Structure 1
Amino acid sequence: MLQQVSGTLFGVAIGDALGVPVEFKTLAYLQNTPVTDMIGYGSWNQPPGTFSDDTSLTLCTAESLIGGYDINNMAQLFVKWYGEAYWTAHNNVFDIGHTTRRALHRVATGTSPLVSGGFEDFENGNGSLMRISPLVFQLANEMDIEKRYQMVKEVSTITHQHFRSVFACFIYVEFLRILLVEKDIFNAYQRLQHTIHSFLAVRQFNPNEIKLFKRVLQDNLASLKEQEINASGYVIHTLESAIWCFLTTKSYEECVLKAVNLGEDTDTTGAVAGALAGIYYGHDAIPTKWIDGVARSSDISQLAQRFAAALNFQPA
């Protein structure tokens, strides 16, 4: 289990750090000058190995879950990150989305985290998707899919409560959960589609919203060409691009480099794809030079050990 917990946390952090220096670069630019290793400076003028808000909030999520599921505690750790640079790479917050900023301000001023997140159409960035991967370990033995959905909804809602963001997070966490035990990537993807379709069959969600997930849930994402993948910060684009990178590669390294080299929201695509590859391939499949090179490597390792020890579960 430690392989998967550590693989997930480092998977996020390294994917994020690979993407930070080239955030906002285009696919065309990165096709000419692709990222092949951990570099520094660039878009945010940060040293090599620096991770962003994606990782900081992922690590806050994991730390909160060590003490058991407590949505108020989790939200307060997010506020501590924003206000005190908690779990940042170098004691400064240099990247935060507008929706997340507004939501954490609400939490800090007394709003319940169960209603603090943005709920407008335009507030469907990837700010909850990027941080939610540790929740899979809390839900690994939860056999009731309705309970899994409700917990994902609550954790997303701290910053993003629109259905689209919540449902993207739910699909993602369900995929991670399947990858805990399914060792054939395409069987896992087919199981994901079947699981979500079965869930939808007994729910009355807005069909116009569900249609937006067609490429993930009905098509075969792996059959799409790179030019058909959009790596913007829109939550559905991030979900599609991360899953596509995972389905079309054969190692952690190949997956995250493919994600980052799609351009645009490179750190988040790298982080979201990184968790998929990290949980599937495990910690030991991540290049040692990247484990050693990412900021706060020893702190992340210690957190992974504490988290795995606290969970003490056997995957269902």
Structure 2
Amino acid sequence: MCGGGGWDPGEATDDTQMAVLVGESLLECGGLELPDVFRRFRRWAASEPKDIGLQTEAVLDSGDPWDLAAALHFQVSQRAAGNGALMRAATSAVYFAPHGRDTTMDAARRLSALTHGDAAAWEGTAVLHELIRVALTGADPLTALPDTLAALRPDHRPRYATVLAPDWHPDLATEFNGAVWPCLGSAVWALRTTTSYEDAVRAAIDLGGDTDTVAAVTGALAGAVYGITAIPERWTTPLHVPLPGFGERVLRTPELTELATRLNT
């Protein structure tokens, strides 16, 4: 929020830019149209945004069809468990929340698979979708963790059970938090160990590493728990989201609030 490192004060990174693209596609198409989401991603990526994940960039720049690009990339690289699908899931989580656990987790997996061929990324995003759904009902998402873990693919369940356990701390992570499971685990840890939106986001940022994404995931989850009024005005006032590839559009807090409201109705 102070600016620096090539960023203006309050300027959103690729996490929020991609989340906006997902949300606008859901609203304009009246539901999940994966080819449309992929086209928007590709148009954005081609406009040289300030920040884009290496894996996401490779998939979107490959020229391969929307339904093959991520899988083909994974076949070659064997590395596709980054947090780049998790980071953009706030808007889709809100949109699918009214439709129940199975639907929201399925949508998370399908959206993740557009850019990430490793099912670990799909399962982590499915967990975030479900925890946000529970939080939006007014319940404590932490109490939903056992049932959410039970809904994961069995081969990915142990890894997520480890990072989502009550006694796990980000210092125990065996991978950089640019990977999907420590990123999600750090966000849940930040929520579990604080009592406000601001403190949760600050705790996430103070972990270092991939700070914008860990904070974006934490903010999505904490926002569902504490609500929009919990976000400090000194943060929302400078907030703005440029959308490279989509003209000169820059979304500010009123436009983002309207988007969130439409996604939740």
TM-score by length of 1: 0.72
1:246 is displaced (CA, Å) by 1.0
- Is 1:228 matched with 2:172? yes
> What letter matches 2:12 in structure 1?
F
Residue 229 of structure 2 is matched in structure 1 by 284
Shift of 1:214: 2.1
What pairs up with 1:32-71 in 2 under 5 angstroms? 38-41=1-4, 44-67=5-28, 68=30, 69-71=32-34
Q: Deviations over 1:159-210 (max 9, x none)?
A: 1121100000001111011000134x3xx2122322331x25xxxx453x32
2:65 paired residue number: 111
Out of 168, 178, 181, which is 2:137 matched to?
A: 181
Distance apart, 1:74 and its partner CA: 1.1
Pick which of 239-248 and 295-304 moved more: 295-304
Matched-pair contact (CA < 8 Å) for 2:10–2:239: yes
Match of 1:258 among 203, 208, 227: 203
Match of 1:166 among 112, 122, 144: 122
Q: 1:168 to 1:191 in 2, by over 3 A?
A: same
Question: Which of 107, 126, 129 matches 1:151?
Answer: 107
Cα distance in 1 between the residues matched to 2:177 and 2:187: 11
How many aligned residue pairs are there? 250
Mapped partners of 2:68, 2:134: distance in 1: 29
* Aligned mates of 1:62, 1:172 — CA distance in 2: 16
1:194 aligned onto 2:138:
no
Matches within 5 A, 1:212-251: 212-216=159-163, 219-220=165-166, 223-225=167-169, 227-228=171-172, 232-251=177-196
- Per the alignment, do residues 133 and 307 of structure 1 end up closer, same or farther by CA in structure 2, a change over 3 Å counting? closer
Measure how far apart 1:152 and its partner are. 1.4
Q: Check if 1:309 corresponds to 2:262.
A: yes
Answer whether contact 1:259 1:273 (CA < 8 A) is retained. Answer: yes
Which of the residues 130, 136, 141 maps onto 2:93?
Answer: 136
Unpaired segments of 5 or more residues in structure 1? 1-37, 86-92
Tell me: CA distance 1:179–1:310, structure 2 relative to 1, closer, same or farther (3 Å).
closer
How far is 1:239 from its partner? 0.5
Distance across 2 between alignment mates of 1:240 and 1:168: 9
Specify whether residues 157 and 283 from structure 1 end up closer, same or farther in structure 2 by C-alpha distance, changes over 3 A only.
same
Quickly say closer, same or farther: Cα 1:306–1:240, change in 2 above 3 A. Answer: closer
The C-alpha deviation readout for 1:108-164, integer Å capped at 9, x for no partner, is x3512x33224354221110000012112222222361x433321210011112110
Query: How far has the Cα of 1:295 moved from its partner?
Result: 2.3
Query: How many angstroms does 1:306 deviate by?
Result: 4.1
How far apart, CA to CA, are the structure 2 residues paired with 1:58 and 1:168?
Answer: 16
2:35 to 61, 67, 72: 72
Q: Counterpart amino acid of 1:179?
A: A
When residues 144 and 232 of structure 1 are mapped into structure 2, their CA distance, relative to the original with a 3 A threshold, is closer
The yes-or-no answer on 1:95 pairing with 2:95 is no
- AA at the equivalent of 1:154: R
Q: 1: CA distance between counterparts of 2:210 and 2:33?
A: 30
Structure 2: runs of 5 or more not aligned: 242-249
Of structures 1 and 2, the one with the larger relative CO (CA 8 A, separation 6+) is: 1
Aligned-residue CA RMSD in angstroms?
Answer: 2.2
- Provide, for residues 270-315 of structure 1, a one-character-per-residue CA deviation record: whole Å limited to 9, x for no partner: 1110111112111111110110022248534324314523652xxx
8 Å CA contact 1:137–1:311 kept in 2: the answer is: yes
Shift in alpha-carbon separation, 1:299–1:80, aligned structure 2, 3 A = farther
Residue type at the aligned position of 1:227:
D
TM-score scaled by length of structure 2:
0.85
In structure 2, the residue matched to 1:271 is 216
CA distance in 1, matches of 2:263, 2:51: 30
In structure 1, C-alpha distance between the alignment counterparts of 2:259 and 2:2, rounded to whole Å: 30
